[in-house]
Chain A
Amino acid sequence: MKCCQLHFFAIIMMSLLFLTTSCQKESSSENTQILKIQVAQSPDILNPVISRTNVSRQIEELLYLPLAKFDEDENQWKPVLTEKFEIESSSDGGTVYKMTMHPDARWSDGQKIEVEDVVFTLKMGLNPYLESQSWANYIGLIDSVIIEEDELTILMLEPYILANEFIASLKPMPRHVFDEKDLFGDISFQSMKDFSFEEEKTERALESIAEDFNRYGNMTDWPEVISGPYSVDAWSADQFLRLISNPHFWGDHAVGHSEKWADKIDTIQYVFISDPQNALNAFSRGHVDIVHSLSEHNRSLIEKNDGVMIPVPSFQMLYISLNHRQPLLSQQKIRVALSHMIDREDLLKKLFAGNALVAEGPIHPMKPYFSPSDKTFDIDRAAEIFEELGCEEIDGVLHCPGNDGMIPMQFHLWTTQTSLSRNVATLLKSYWRKLGVHLTIQSADFRTFLPELQNKTYEMATLALHQNNLLDDPYPLWHSSQAGQAGKNYQGMNLDSIDVILENLRQAIEPQKQFELYMDLQEEFYKEEPVLFLVAPLDMIGVHQDLDLFLINQRPGYDLFQTKWKR
């Protein structure tokens, strides 16, 4: 009997628990100054020197200010953390950057931001014990760093196309947080560059500083001392990251700056939802105000829930990588014929509902130096090329001459496991089958078929190219020196004409010269078709209609400093 009573008691208690708390009202961002943004993944780290993901870079923009920012209206660099930021040419053909810091610029702990912080960041970027060496590549091009009466002069003898952008967008890190004993003050820039020191203990000290630096900005060690208008308030793994307005932000009071940040949003919360359907539902429930990676068929739901859909550039391009060591794909004419057999407009319509642009070459179609080609979907032209080459159809499969006689046009195509990648491959298969070119599609995680790309043992692969900078340095992707196992020229391309342009482009600092070389590069790509470019998808985002989103032509497509709530 006791047992019976206990069971009933348990049931009643549980039922009460449900009833008493089942009418919770979930919080919504409405009528507040909170902006909630859905992103697919959480940041790897919030440290601009070593972070690698786009989400991290997006958030770091709010935490750390750069030295200068490019003003597209005036077509020049405008100081941000600096008071003076000048770029001059030196007498020996190099570039000189001269800057002084803004007198009001302060770290969030009240310490002054000085040129020494910039020098510390440059030296730290060269520390080989850092988790990422991406900054070191750029900093390694600097020849000297001189401080004279609060003015910093950076000299770069060898011209490099992205140098201005790198130096201007450099985000200094707080020297006093990492280098209390001023170790870096005693080490010259050149020693850091060569990584040669008289005492072995210096190297050990650098390793120890790097250990702290590598942790700085991760989930357990948020960046506390920052220079930007927002600071981290909460960060929960795989859940969200909340930024609040930095109460000690120097720009709120500085002359010439305060108006820029006057109406900034109080709180920005990044919500990590990887699944697009979940993200869409979160938008419809008012849990996020900006949602990414939407499709056209989501439009009605977004609009029904007080939202609007906006296309923003993703600076991503899909292409088919071709192994140039494969006897058929090494032939320029075959590559051109294959390109003619791709109906890019059809791809655009079927897979992106028109929310994409045709990608024709290595430059994204939304970049100002993009040059359109006269490439067309022309299956008859492709047939003519095959005929000129002496190709024959045998048992429904096209055979073309290689070094060792006729080789069947049957290729193995790797795709990633995303539905987009597989759909692209399927459509491609249907286009090429018309002339007897057969594809075998195999899907796998990118890391699974990466060794095939590195060893050049594959035939074709569906890949995506991501561009970020204002300008492009296409060298790492297409130059023959990068065709080794550790390089990103997965095609094994070794085309002299393209190599020469890439080398010259890397060293071009005059805008006119850069423009000409970009044109030449695209022209050469259209002629050689070393890879088959397909489409440049736009990122469709859903935005709450009360949000006045300030759109820009850079990732992620909007500037949060200039975004405001209308209500």
Chain B
Amino acid sequence: MIFFKQNGRDDMVRRFLFRGMAIVPLSLSVLFLSIWMFYKLPGVNNLDTVHFEWGSEREIQQLFRSFYRSNQPRSGQGMFYFGVLGNEVPKNYYELPAPFQPAFLELCKEVKNADVMKEYGAWMIQVIQNPRGGIEMQNMDYQRMVDLFRSSQLTEVIRYSHRMGADELDHIIKKMEEKSGESRDGYRWVWLGKNNLFHYYLSGIFSWKNDLRTKEGIPVKQKVVQVFPWTLAYTLPVLPIVVVGMYWLVLLFYENRWLMKSMDKVFMLTYAFPVFVIATAALIFFTSNRYGQISRIFPFPVFMSDGGEGLRSIYVRYLNALVLPMLLFGLRPMILFFRAFREKINEVVTMTPVPEYLVHIGMASRRFRISYLGRYLMVTIWSVLPGMFLAALSGSLMIEYIFNIPGLGRFYFDSVVEYDVASSVFLIFGFTVIQQLGHLISDVLIDYYLSSQSGRTKLT
């Protein structure tokens, strides 16, 4: 990854540009993928009758109206600025509510006439958008209407439309029967313009209007600002302590082989345990009120967020309860840094002349340790930094879930589980961008250090 070249600064600029340019397509791809996954989940595009109490006509009307609420994206909309449709499928397919789309698509395949299906689609949209008016119908039966819209075969359409008394629909059905098979096979590109889900979320993320709202109705950005201090509360103090602590531990005691080996064994053993096992065990055993003094040191954490507190307020009220999550959060980076530092030191010491020689030529042993070996460890820190940076910001999902901390990780988990698409998409995009930026900063730091005259001198 690191190249020692005379023209290192040019190389750094090139890499910076390359990385910077990659952030945009990478982040947008992640955004698209997350939207795609949410809207292709089977539960999202259902006919949502869960809250029906009567199964009455009114409730179905309400369901119809909900498909076209102006302030929310429609799940049936296209995913991107353009889409691919079969030649037999009209473009207004994208305007239909998602629960009716699969049946409509099947019907298109049977009828094979995009023009007639366009008329049928337009009629459906008119009925759904304005169920009480605009449609001439003698017998408006909404239960039947739902069955009609979910009909995937022409025979079913004819059966359900029977005795509805909708002249326009009867006329369209007649055309469906007469003009079967006019569209040719194959597919075509369809331009959808801004009327697509990707554009909705992209503009929601970058606009100041707070269009993206959580399920509770509060703007996602506001919610992120609310939960952010909670994640920082247990991650921010831990990372510097872990990095600095391990840095000095290895640097000062790398010659003490017994200590290093013992620590290595202890860490290897600890590393074998998944964090969630340790976290759950700690939560259950330490905080269970069963272990006297230990349980008093680690009380069961019940964090109450008022929705607008800062770091200071959180520490004043909950620092005691945050100690255990901090310790558990610090465990993994501690092991990671220890191992990385130790490996690096071993490698450097093996490759460089013995310290005695350096002392002989005039370099003090303290300088050898701190300035010479320490610089190598610094490069290691910078290379691991982006991952740690993201961990600090996004929080440890498991720790927040287990300890009930209302931070970013918990918010993300709950959003995904609760089908809160706006919050999930916003967070996924945010984490992606943060990680990419972390890589960029890390690269710049390493490159800048390596290309600078003083850094190279000290490393070579």
Q: With an 8 A cutoff between CB atoms, is B218 at the interface? A: yes
Chain A hits for B305, CB < 8 A? 236, 239
Which 9 pairs, one residue from A and one from B, show the smallest C-beta to C-beta distance?
A: A447-B43, A484-B143, A287-B302, A281-B300, A21-B319, A486-B146, A133-B62, A24-B320, A482-B55
Q: Does B26 contact A (CB under 8 A)?
A: no
Q: How far is the CA of A129 from the CA of B150 in the complex (A)?
A: 25
Q: Does B159 contact A (CB under 8 A)?
A: no
Question: A278 to chain B: which residues have CB within 8 Å?
Answer: 404
Q: A275 near B: Cβ within 8 Å?
A: yes
A185 within 8 A of B: no
A-B contact pairs, 10 of them (CB 8 A): A22-B320, A24-B316, A133-B61, A219-B217, A236-B307, A450-B46, A450-B47, A484-B143, A485-B47, A486-B146
Report if B240 contacts A (CB, 8 A): yes
Tell me if A451 is interfacial: C-beta within 8 Å of chain B.
Answer: yes
Give CA–CA (A52, B52) in the complex, Å.
10
Complex partner residue of B300 from A1, A218, A239, A284, CB under 8 angstroms: A284
Contact B245 A11 (CB under 8 A): yes
A17–B320 CA distance with the chains assembled, in angstroms: 11
* Chain A residues closer than 8 Å to B216, beta-carbon distance: 42, 218-219, 237
Residues of A in contact (CB 8 Å), total 65
Given A237-B216, A451-B42, the answer on whether A10 and B304 have CB atoms closer than 8 Å is no
Q: A271 to chain B: which residues have CB within 8 Å? A: 302, 304
Evaluate contact between B319 and A487: CB separation under 8 angstroms.
no
Q: How far is the CA of A281 from the CA of B60 in the complex (A)?
A: 43
A3 to B369, alpha carbons, bound, how many Å?
A: 13
Chain A, 227-250, contact with B by CB distance < 8 Å: what is the 0/1 string? 000000010111110000000000
Q: Is B10 part of the binding interface, using a Cβ–Cβ cutoff of 8 Å? A: no
Residues of A within 8 A of B289 (CB): 284-285, 305
Residue A140 lies at the interface, judged by CB distance under 8 Å to chain B: yes
Residues of A within 8 Å of B374, CB to CB, are 3
A-B contact count (CB 8 A): 176
| B243-286 residues at the A interface, CB under 8 angstroms | 244-245, 247-248, 284
A24 to chain B, nearest CB (A): 4
A10 touches B240 (CB 8 A): yes
Q: Does B294 contact A (CB under 8 A)?
A: no
Is B336 part of the contact surface with A, judged by Cβ < 8 Å?
no
Q: Which A residues are CB-close (under 8 A) to B458? A: none
Instruction: Tell me if A394 is interfacial: C-beta within 8 Å of chain B.
Output: no
- Cβ-defined contact, A10 with B55, below 8 A: no
Whether the Cβ atoms of A134 and B53 lie closer than 8 Å is yes
Interface assignment of B223: CB less than 8 Å from any CB of chain A: yes
Given contacts A24-B318, A447-B42, contact A128 B50 (CB under 8 A): no
State A42–B5 Cα separation when bound (angstroms). Answer: 60
Task: State whether B55 touches A14 (Cβ < 8 A).
Answer: no
**Interface code A250-289, partner B: CB below 8 Å = 1, 0 otherwise?**
0000000000000000000001010101100110110100
Considering only CB atoms, which chain B residue lies closest to A304 in the complex? B289
Residue from B217, B223, B317, B406 having most chain A Cβ neighbours under 10 A: B217
Residue A215 at the B interface, CB < 8 A?
yes
A75 at the interface (CB under 8 A from B): no
B144 x A281 contact (CB < 8 A): no
Cross-chain contact B49 with A220 (CB below 8 angstroms):
no
User: Within B316-358, which residues are at the interface with A (CB < 8 Å)?
Assistant: 316-321, 323
Task: State A403–B412 Cα separation when bound (angstroms).
Answer: 52
Contact A133 B414, CB 8 Å, known A24-B320, A219-B217, A287-B302: no
A486 to B141 Cα, complex, angstroms: 12
The answer to whether A236 touches B59, judged by C-beta atoms less than 8 angstroms apart, is: no
A18 touches B53 (CB 8 A): no
> CA of A271 to CA of B321 in the docked complex: distance in angstroms?
18
Name the CB-closest residue of A to B303: A239
A84 contacts the other chain (CB 8 A) = no
User: 20 other contacts beyond A10-B244, A136-B58, with CB at 8 A cut-off?
Assistant: A17-B237, A17-B315, A22-B320, A24-B318, A128-B61, A219-B217, A234-B306, A236-B304, A236-B307, A239-B306, A281-B300, A305-B289, A445-B43, A450-B47, A454-B47, A454-B49, A476-B52, A485-B47, A485-B143, A486-B59
| Measured CA separation A239–B223 after assembly (Å) | 13
The listed residue (A22, A454, A485) touching B323 by CB distance below 8 A is: A22
Question: On chain B, which size bracket covers the interface?
Answer: 35 or more
In this assembly, does A481 line the interface, its C-beta being within 8 Å of a C-beta of chain B?
yes
B299 CB–A CB distance under 8 Å: yes
Query: What residues of chain A lie closer than 8 Å to B404, measured between beta carbons?
Result: 273, 275, 278
The verdict on B188 contacting chain A, using a C-beta distance below 8 Å, is no
Q: In the complex, how many angstroms separate the beta carbon of B459 from the nearest chain A beta carbon?
A: 16
- B291-312 residues with Cβ-Cβ distance < 8 A to A are 299-300, 302-307
Confirm or deny: B51 has a beta carbon within 8 angstroms of a beta carbon on chain A: yes
Residues on the A chain within 8 Å of B132, using CB: 128, 195
Quick check: A236 and B306 within 8 Å, CB to CB?
A: yes
- In the bound complex, do residue A281 and residue B54 qualify as a contact, i.e. CB atoms below 8 Å apart? no
Interface check B287, CB cutoff 8 A: yes
| CB < 8 Å neighbour of A448 from B43, B218, B370 | B43
Task: Say whether, besides A132-B62, A476-B54, A485 and B147 are in contact (CB < 8 Å).
Answer: yes
**Structural contact, A140 and B58, CB atoms closer than 8 A:** yes
Residues of B within 8 A of A (CB): 42-44, 46-47, 49-56, 58-63, 65, 132, 142-144, 146-147, 150, 214, 216-218, 223, 226, 237, 240-241, 244-245, 247-248, 284, 287-289, 299-300, 302-307, 315-321, 323, 370, 374, 404, 406, 414, 419
Are A450 and B50 in touch, CB under 8 angstroms?
yes
In the complex, the answer to whether A237 meets B218 with C-beta atoms within 8 Å is yes
Q: Kindly state the separation between the CA atoms of A239 and B306 in the bound complex, as whole angstroms.
A: 8
Contact B50 A486 (CB under 8 A): no
By a CB distance below 8 angstroms, the chain A residues around B54 are: 134, 137, 475-476
Within 8 Å by CB of A281, from B53, B142, B288, lies: B288
Q: Does A26 have its Cβ within 8 Å of any Cβ on chain B?
A: yes
Q: Are the C-beta atoms of B47 and A451 separated by less than 8 Å?
A: yes
Contact between A14 and B240, CB atoms less than 8 A apart: yes
A140 CB contacts on chain B under 8 angstroms: 58
A4 at interface by CB-CB < 8 Å: yes
Binary B-proximity of A120-148 (CB < 8 A = 1, otherwise 0): 00000000111011101100100000000
A566 at the interface (CB under 8 A from B): no
Q: Give Cα A17 to B237, complex, Å.
A: 9
A1 to B364, CA, bound (A): 13
With a cutoff of 8 Å between Cβ atoms, the chain B residues found around residue A136 in the complex are 58
A220-B217 CB under 8 A given contacts A445-B43, A486-B55: yes
Within 8 A of B (CB), among A7-40: 7, 10-11, 14, 17-18, 21-24, 26
- Give chain B nearest CB distance to A245 CB in angstroms: 20
A239 and B304 in contact (CB under 8 A), knowing A18-B319, A137-B53, A284-B289? yes
Which residues does chain A contribute within 8 Å of B60, judged by CB atoms?
A: 486
Smallest CB gap from A21: residue in B: B319
- Which A residue's beta carbon lies closest to that of B99? A451
Query: Chain A contacts of B217 at CB under 8 A?
Result: 215, 218-220
Question: A285 contacts B146, CB within 8 Å?
Answer: no
Q: A485, B150: Cβ atoms under 8 Å? A: yes
Q: Do A487 and B55 touch (CB < 8 A)?
A: yes
Asked if A333 is an interface residue, CB under 8 A from chain B, the answer is no
When chains A and B are docked, how far (Å) is the Cα of A484 from the Cα of B57? 12
Q: Is the CB of A134 within 8 A of B51?
A: yes
Distance (whole angstroms) from the CB of B232 to the closest CB of chain A:
14
B66 nearest CB neighbor, chain A only: A131
Nearest Cβ in chain B — how far from A208, in angstroms?
13
Which of B63, B143, B406 has the largest count of A CB atoms less than 10 A from its CB?
B143
A69 at the interface (CB under 8 A from B): no
Chain B: minimal CB distance from A368 (Å): 23
Q: Residues of A contacting B307 with CB < 8 Å?
A: 236-237, 239
Does A325 have its Cβ within 8 Å of any Cβ on chain B? no
A425-482 interface (Cβ within 8 A of B): 445-448, 450-451, 454-455, 475-476, 481-482
- For residue A11, which residues in chain B have a CB less than 8 angstroms away from its CB? 241, 244-245
Q: How far is the CB of A306 from chain B (nearest CB, A)?
A: 12
CB contacts (< 8 Å) of B284 on chain A: these are 277
Q: Is A102 an interface residue (CB 8 A)?
A: no
Complex Cα spacing A305 to B289, Å? 10
